[in-house]
Amino acid sequence: MTQHIFVTGTDTEVGKTRISVGLIKVLQQQGLRVAAMKPVASGCEWQDGQLQNEDALALSQQADIKLPYSQVNPYAFEPAIAPHLAAEQVGETISLTVIESHFAAMQLQADTVVVEGAGGWLVPLNDQQTIADLAKALNLTVVLVVAIKLGCINHALLTVQGITDSGLTLVGWVANDFLDDSQSTAIIQSLKQRIAAPCLGIVPRLAEDEDASAYLTL
């Protein structure tokens, strides 16, 4: 049975969307029909009468299963801040039950669903729950995107530990190389020695519209 995938990162702005879009394309090349979801997004802009997020739109555009924007991204907030704070500003509470309902409907239409998180693993969604709780509620296997830069070894290993403590399976991690110099090789090798899950790819610094799928395996 094909597993659905939750993509998380060591922090915000580490390339989760680029890697998620690349993974969708890899899955499509394997003959699978893929749906995509960005359950929670901050920093959205008004388009066509609703708040929309460029990351959610990128995922939706690559996916085979074309769904209403409100299903792909049920919680869209204008302030570019942590989701729970953005929700508080507009008097809204993020509900995992709502997200689970949208995800369940997607599962019926697709061979696999790629779900992109927000920020890092323990970013709060409300007063009690985090991104980790969202991944657990959907019972997804996890892919971790590591931004290769100063400090990433600590961030990556702490996130791996958090995923393990959540009881979920880390199926692999992706090195998204922000340095693109001689330090990168040593950092990536250090991570390979310390993370039991396989490295699914090393993605060099790419142009904004360049495809990452050629550097990924799944």
DSSP string covering 169-198, please?
Answer: -EEEEEEEESS-SHHHHHHHHHHHHH-SSP
CATH code, domain with 179: 3.40.50.300
Q: Give the model's confidence band at 2: pLDDT under 50 very low, under 70 low, under 90 confident, else very high.
A: low
Residue-level pLDDT at 1: 44
Distance CA 29, CA 66 (A): 18
Model confidence pLDDT, tens digit, residues 39-68: 999 999 999 889 999 999 999 999 999 999
Number of domains comprising the chain: 1
200 pLDDT higher than 80: yes
Residue type for position 74: P
pTM of the model: 0.96
Determine whether 38 is an active site residue.
yes
Specify burial of residue 38 (Cβ count, 10 A radius: 0-12, 13-18, 19+). Answer: buried
With vertex at residue 191, the alpha carbon angle to CA 118 and CA 168, rounded to the nearest 5 degrees, is 50
**Contact assessment for residue 126 and residue 93, using Cβ atoms and an 8 Å cutoff:** yes
Model confidence pLDDT, tens digit, residues 29-38: 999 999 999 9
Q: What is the mean pLDDT of the chain?
A: 95
β partners of residue 75: 40
Q: Which residues are annotated as a binding site?
A: 17, 42, 55, 116-119, 176-177, 204-206
Q: Which residues are annotated as a binding site for Mg(2+)?
A: 17, 55, 116
Of 16, 25, 38, 192, which residue is the catalytic one?
38
Q: Which residues are annotated as a binding site for ATP?
A: 55, 116-119, 176-177, 204-206
SS3 65: coil
β partners of residue 6: 115, 142
Model confidence pLDDT, tens digit, residues 111-145: 999 999 999 999 999 999 999 999 999 999 999 99
Model confidence pLDDT, tens digit, residues 61-102: 999 999 999 999 999 999 999 999 999 999 999 999 999 999
Please give the residue range of the domain that contains residue 104.
5-215
